Structure 1
Amino acid sequence: MSDRNIPADGIGMHLYTMREALAEDYPGTLQRLAEIGYRTIGVSGRFGHSAEEIRSYADAAGLKIVLEHVGYPRLTDDWAGALADVKMLGGEWIVVPSLPEELRNPDGFREAARAFTAAGQVAAKEGLKLLFHNHGHDFEEVDGQVLFDILLNEVDPDLLGFELDLYWVVNGGKDPIEYFEAHPGRFPALHVKDMAEDGTFADVGTGTLDFAAIFAHAEAGGVRQWLVEHDAPTDAWESARTSYRSLNELRY
């Protein structure tokens, strides 16, 4: 197997893409995703369902839940409960999707690094790994310091990994390959999200990002899950089908 090869059970859907369908029919949506070919999912929003119910829907569809997004305030507001829910879902990673706006500065990122260290220690004791999901603004440079790099450099790799959103890395002016090579093993999950010519979101394979080149370095980054995402699809199901086909073609 080359480092360009994506395992079949590594192709997933981050469910934020499907939020309108999930609100109407959560179990039916998971069934349809499985029929398209997706094997894993990342949970983002419960839509009134319990972790136990969502796990049952995923099991019925033959999908494995690999992670859930949990808001930054949960680090100090029932973190034990958040971890228990991810374990109930069958996930391996608990993901903080963003930092509060007031922390988007060097001091704030250092505060977050301390919070992630403490939360990551508790997660590890429960057999889970804490990840952080990036946006474009996380790559802002302040006084010569890239904000995102503060987390990379100040939190032990055993306590914090990253769900690297490829669109937002490029939007932030950085190169995902450079991160894979400079920080091996830190990026177990990806958000595979494409960028249109005008800089907006695009279905995977229809935009400007050179995923083949990026994925050739994924092994160095420690990537194990390639989760499709589109923040604003015109037709979520068409986006899901197109993105799956494109990602599946890159397996070979």
Structure 2
Amino acid sequence: MRASRRGFLQLAGGAAIAGAGALASAGPAVAVSSRRVVPPGHIGIQLYTVRSLMTEDAQGTLDALGRMGYATVGVSGLYGHSPAEFRAMLDRAGLRAVLTHLSLDAIGGDWQRELDDAHVLGVEYVVVPSLPGSLQNPAGYRQVASEFNVAGEAARAAGLGFLYHNHGFDFDTVDGEVLYDILLDGTDPRYVDFELDLYWIVHAGYDPVAYFRRAPGRFPVLHVKDRAVDGSFADLGYGTIDFPRIFGQRRYSGTREYVVEHDQPVSPLLTAKRGYRYLRTVRF
């Protein structure tokens, strides 16, 4: 599953990698001709991508995303608004919140209130987006897996899905163990699934499709984030990740939601436009 060092350097350089296991293409990603498409009603954007604009004008930013054609958003904070107020803004913009990111601390606090707020927002999933450095070791990940099982069971009882969103450090090998694998193997698939950030798993040198085959149906949400030749973030279709290959494995991944994200966009609305256009035109 782990890419070789030589193979990964080829990936980062955009060179072709032989075989169906290739993760990237040499040039900008382009749409390919086939019958399968990303369902328009399941194309979304993580609001973290446009956070600078949300801080200045939340309603105006949401309205702009709705006009672009986005159907859903991933919530990344409420920007000073109550859940009810934020839901009203989404409704006005014609958007549906499909998920909300909540800190690990939220699990240990008033978790039921967090779940109630998630219902007000209208989301399907509550997502822990990251883990603190103090827990980035095998013992810490086992502890988190146990906590996720409890929180996920409560979320399921409340009619919500519970997910974890990865970063690159989740694929570090510590004391001979891949940290992400500890979560994958140590959580109950009845209660815990995963929001797979495609940039970070590829950047770490791993193959998303291999994980789909290893844990079928546990990846209902993808963060669709592209990777430039130099390893930086890229707008969709301007990087190296072979999204058609990944999307084409939906029967294994169980993916329902495709959420555009860019951590450091120079022009957030241009990034959003490019992301929507790519997901509307890509074929696999």
Bin for the TM-score computed over the shorter chain:
over 0.9
Question: Which of 101, 125, 130 does residue 157 from structure 2 map onto?
Answer: 125
Matched, 1:40 2:72: yes
Aligned to 1:199: 231
**How big is the shift at 1:243?**
1.3
For the Cα contact (< 8 Å) 2:244–2:283, is it kept in 1? no
Tell me which amino acid in the other structure corresponds to 2:80: G
What 5-or-longer segments of structure 1 have no aligned partner?
Answer: none
Matched, 1:108 2:140: yes
CA distance in 1, matches of 2:154, 2:98: 19
- Per-residue CA distance 1:165-190 (angstroms, 9 max, x = gap): 00000111111111111111100001
Report the aligned-residue RMSD.
1.2
Q: Equivalent residue of 2:223, what SS? A: strand
Aligned to 1:163: 195
**How big is the shift at 1:144?**
2.7
Q: How does 1:207-218 map to 2 (within 5 A)?
A: 207-218=239-250
Question: Which of 258, 263, 270 does residue 226 from structure 1 map onto?
Answer: 258
- Per-residue CA distance 1:52-92 (angstroms, 9 max, x = gap): 11111111111111010000011111111111111100001
Q: Equivalent residue of 1:156, what SS? A: coil
Q: Equivalent residue of 2:115, what SS? A: helix
Q: Percent identity among equivalent residues?
A: 50
Aligned to 1:82: 114
Q: Equivalent residue of 1:86, what SS? A: helix
**How big is the shift at 1:251?**
4.7
Question: Which of 264, 273, 279 does residue 241 from structure 1 map onto?
Answer: 273
Aligned to 2:59: 27
Q: Equivalent residue of 1:238, what SS? A: helix
- Per-residue CA distance 1:104-154 (angstroms, 9 max, x = gap): 000000000010011111111111111000000100112332110111111
CA distance in 1, matches of 2:87, 2:223: 21
For the Cα contact (< 8 Å) 1:4–1:215, is it kept in 2? no
Q: Which has the larger radius of gyration?
A: 2
Q: Equivalent residue of 2:202, what SS? A: helix
Q: Equivalent residue of 1:45, what SS? A: coil
Q: Equivalent residue of 2:91, what SS? A: helix
For the Cα contact (< 8 Å) 1:4–1:212, is it kept in 2? no
Question: Which of 22, 42, 45 does residue 10 from structure 1 map onto?
Answer: 42
Relative to the length of structure 2, the TM-score reads 0.86
Tell me which amino acid in the other structure corresponds to 1:154: G
Shift >6 Å, 4+ stretches:
none
Aligned to 2:99: 67
**How big is the shift at 1:3?**
8.8
For the Cα contact (< 8 Å) 2:35–2:283, is it kept in 1? no
**How big is the shift at 1:219?**
2.9
